[in-house]
Structure 1
């Protein structure tokens, strides 16, 4: 198959199946690029594994070969329901809305992945958000036509083969060398969490986190609650930078629920994505002079500054957050930062030179620690 282009538009690219004639995915509409396919293939693996592990429909919002958010079906709170216009939605739509709402700024122009066939409700939501394509194991009648009309007919619709079994070994070629290794197929089950005293919801969140990080560029960590990611930190050279980055995203997710943010009075005609972006920049509290002027123009009523005391008090209300790391926590600073973001449960491989200090920090903060013994690096 000829691709639209490779990693960049100036690179021509093709793709062939490793077993002649055996494709794990087929194009129903559109013309994918290399990154489109990488996002789709990683996203499909994540949602299929998450749905199997947790027994609920799963969804992910992919950008640049890492998820911006992932979730299983569950309740959609008032903020997300109002934002996406989906009160009382079905399970698959709830999974995608919760996945996209983890980091809606980053999900702009995402590749959506869902574990179950797309229904009319999800197709309608996808038609109303800025999304570049979707991969799913099937499509209800009429939904492909609905989706194909997006982006002036350039929306990408991919169908995954749920019966496809990937080869046990995978290869890639880089600079004249072919690297071959076993596919990472280690089972991800609750048994990895050991005998830690975990409520069922926390165990599910940690398990979902393990699945998410298996398909996220390393180094990576994620914060989760109620079957959805709140913040994912990916591809950083320093693990504590991942922890802080993902923690800031988790804070933003929670602060978007604050009454002062919900009360921002945007003028009619300000688009959904622009409202979201302005909410995030308002919370980040470092607007440039140009941004300050443009935000003022977007608001019908001037917005007061967000008081630091209100920020701290609101963040203190957050409880029961889970935190997962794809590699061993090398220092206790990761635990200290995670604690600031409401973390009560941590899962990490263990085995670092300072694991005893990490464990002591968890005891100090009242955090339940699960040592999985399984590293989940992904590159």
Structure 2
């Protein structure tokens, strides 16, 4: 910003060129009513004229018609000179006079719908044609010269622009222009990120030299994981069903931890195909404390709840089918932070309305857990980027390594336990019996400790339910990674497990297999690991 820039800059001449015509004519009429001259291009100019407004075509300003199928229309000194000229610089003013360049005080541009085009599955050439060139160039020019030029790239800023103009007698103030400029640069950065990410995928570059990420602010959060941390929630623009695209029907706004845990819960329950019946997952601190199938949704919830009633208090509940009244009634018996499901019936909605602090989210469906997505996390000085863990196995992928084969019931539970273990923090141990978790050990430095913790929880819950035997008695057990030594396996056997599923591949496999045979266990290898840190 130049030292002599005026505090407020009057808007006398505006260039409007938008792909999204939402609010366009209202904005044009409001600007014209304030005495602003309108310049425009193509469809924007037509829409403004159809509204009865006087509009100057950019082609009349540049002396060149739009050409090359609209690829070239604003890339001209009469446009960029009008946007970039410093109004307090004598040399700039002289150049404007010499070349008959008039100043442009306001630029309103939103870009070709590249992201939407990609989302619709358009072919390569169509996506390329929807990469905007002139728009980003003008936006960057106007944003650079925000000492004198206002640049608007979002429809939601139209009213703010008019409000600032009214507050300053037809001008905009420096603080507002700076904010508009920051938003503008963020928009072009996000746009370029979308283009580069799409192109890397389209041409098969798995690890591009440079990778850009972008998001749109959805919510400023009260705080992050802890009250001393500031936080916000950004959307990546995808339509993947989940917490980011869900409709919230009631309750306080979601917190950072709510969003994180709700995502974990919904991604887990999406592993359980609703075509095979109702399923419920209860999450606490991003780890499942109960997951179960049921003949009805209320049965699935009760069975999940009975895995660890203590941890379920204040938890997050995810369902793979719409919420019904009977399930809502049962959930209402304890405090629950969030319930997320692909729909909710009228009875459920009415029951939950009495629980003011419970957040109910509904989605358009379940996320595709097989989709090829990226996940990333920040480390000091960089980002770790990897494919999202969408690995799945079926019965055909299993390798029997013990003398005894699992029974049909054990096999079904082993596959279920494996799906749950994928969503438990490592080292993960999951006991399952009859389609329900009966003990979960998570996040321990030792796999033996995870086995023992899960077994202890199964004993504690059995005591709470007044049962003679631990819940894990007669269960199967899943481990997210191999047992390097027999001790972890033997701890599971001591807890009552009769069959085991884990990746295998350890140098100690022979010893572990012998221990399983000696204990009469059935054991299968998956050949796939599911570490989750």
SS in structure 1 at match of 2:259: helix
Q: Does 1:41 align with 2:263?
A: yes
The CA deviation at 1:61 is 0.9
The one-character-per-residue Cα deviations of 1:205-247 (angstroms, maximum 9, x if unpaired) are: 1111111111111111011101101110000011100000001
- Given that residues 44 and 160 in structure 1 are in contact (C-alpha distance below 8 angstroms), is that contact kept between their aligned partners in structure 2? no
Counterpart of 2:523 in structure 1 is 369
- Given that residues 135 and 159 in structure 1 are in contact (C-alpha distance below 8 angstroms), is that contact kept between their aligned partners in structure 2? yes
- Given that residues 221 and 243 in structure 1 are in contact (C-alpha distance below 8 angstroms), is that contact kept between their aligned partners in structure 2? yes
Among 429, 453, 459, the residue aligned to 1:221? 429
Counterpart of 2:361 in structure 1 is 158
The CA deviation at 1:172 is 2.6
The CA deviation at 1:319 is 4.6
- Given that residues 422 and 480 in structure 2 are in contact (C-alpha distance below 8 angstroms), is that contact kept between their aligned partners in structure 1? yes
Among 4, 10, 26, the residue aligned to 2:247? 26
SS in structure 2 at match of 1:146: helix
Number of aligned residue pairs: 306
The one-character-per-residue Cα deviations of 1:298-348 (angstroms, maximum 9, x if unpaired) are: xxxxxxxxxxxxxxxx44997531000001111101121111111110001
Counterpart of 1:68 in structure 2 is 289
Residues 64/203 of structure 1: CA separation in 2 closer, same or farther (3 Å cut): same
Q: Does 1:328 align with 2:482?
A: yes
Residues 51/359 of structure 1: CA separation in 2 closer, same or farther (3 Å cut): same
Whole-angstrom distance in 2 between the partners of 1:112 and 1:163: 14
Counterpart of 1:243 in structure 2 is 451
**TM-score, normalising length from structure 2?**
0.54
Whole-angstrom distance in 2 between the partners of 1:233 and 1:155: 27
Residues 163/246 of structure 1: CA separation in 2 closer, same or farther (3 Å cut): closer
SS in structure 2 at match of 1:343: coil
Residues 188/147 of structure 1: CA separation in 2 closer, same or farther (3 Å cut): farther
Residues 94/223 of structure 1: CA separation in 2 closer, same or farther (3 Å cut): same
Equivalent residues in 2 for 1:1-379 (5 A)? Answer: 1-2=218-219, 3-19=221-237, 23-30=244-251, 31-51=253-273, 55-74=276-295, 91-150=296-355, 153-162=356-365, 164-165=367-368, 168-195=373-400, 197-258=405-466, 314-315=468-469, 319-379=473-533
Counterpart of 1:294 in structure 2 is none
Q: CA RMSD in A?
A: 2.2
The one-character-per-residue Cα deviations of 1:138-182 (angstroms, maximum 9, x if unpaired) are: 1102423432431xx221112233265565222233444222111
Whole-angstrom distance in 2 between the partners of 1:163 and 1:114: 10
Residues 26/367 of structure 1: CA separation in 2 closer, same or farther (3 Å cut): same
Whole-angstrom distance in 2 between the partners of 1:20 and 1:369: 40
- Given that residues 4 and 32 in structure 1 are in contact (C-alpha distance below 8 angstroms), is that contact kept between their aligned partners in structure 2? no
Counterpart of 2:173 in structure 1 is none
Residues 317/37 of structure 1: CA separation in 2 closer, same or farther (3 Å cut): closer
Whole-angstrom distance in 2 between the partners of 1:240 and 1:321: 17
Residues 101/319 of structure 1: CA separation in 2 closer, same or farther (3 Å cut): closer
Residues 146/334 of structure 1: CA separation in 2 closer, same or farther (3 Å cut): same
SS in structure 1 at match of 2:517: helix
The one-character-per-residue Cα deviations of 1:4-33 (angstroms, maximum 9, x if unpaired) are: 431112322221222267644332323111
Whole-angstrom distance in 2 between the partners of 1:5 and 1:158: 21
The CA deviation at 1:186 is 1.3
- Given that residues 62 and 69 in structure 1 are in contact (C-alpha distance below 8 angstroms), is that contact kept between their aligned partners in structure 2? yes
Residues 159/19 of structure 1: CA separation in 2 closer, same or farther (3 Å cut): same
Counterpart of 2:135 in structure 1 is none
- Given that residues 148 and 154 in structure 1 are in contact (C-alpha distance below 8 angstroms), is that contact kept between their aligned partners in structure 2? no
Report the structure number with the largest CA radius of gyration.
2
- Given that residues 282 and 288 in structure 2 are in contact (C-alpha distance below 8 angstroms), is that contact kept between their aligned partners in structure 1? yes
Counterpart of 2:9 in structure 1 is none
Could you tell me which runs of 5 or more consecutive residues in structure 1 were left unpaired when the two chains were aligned.
75-90, 260-313
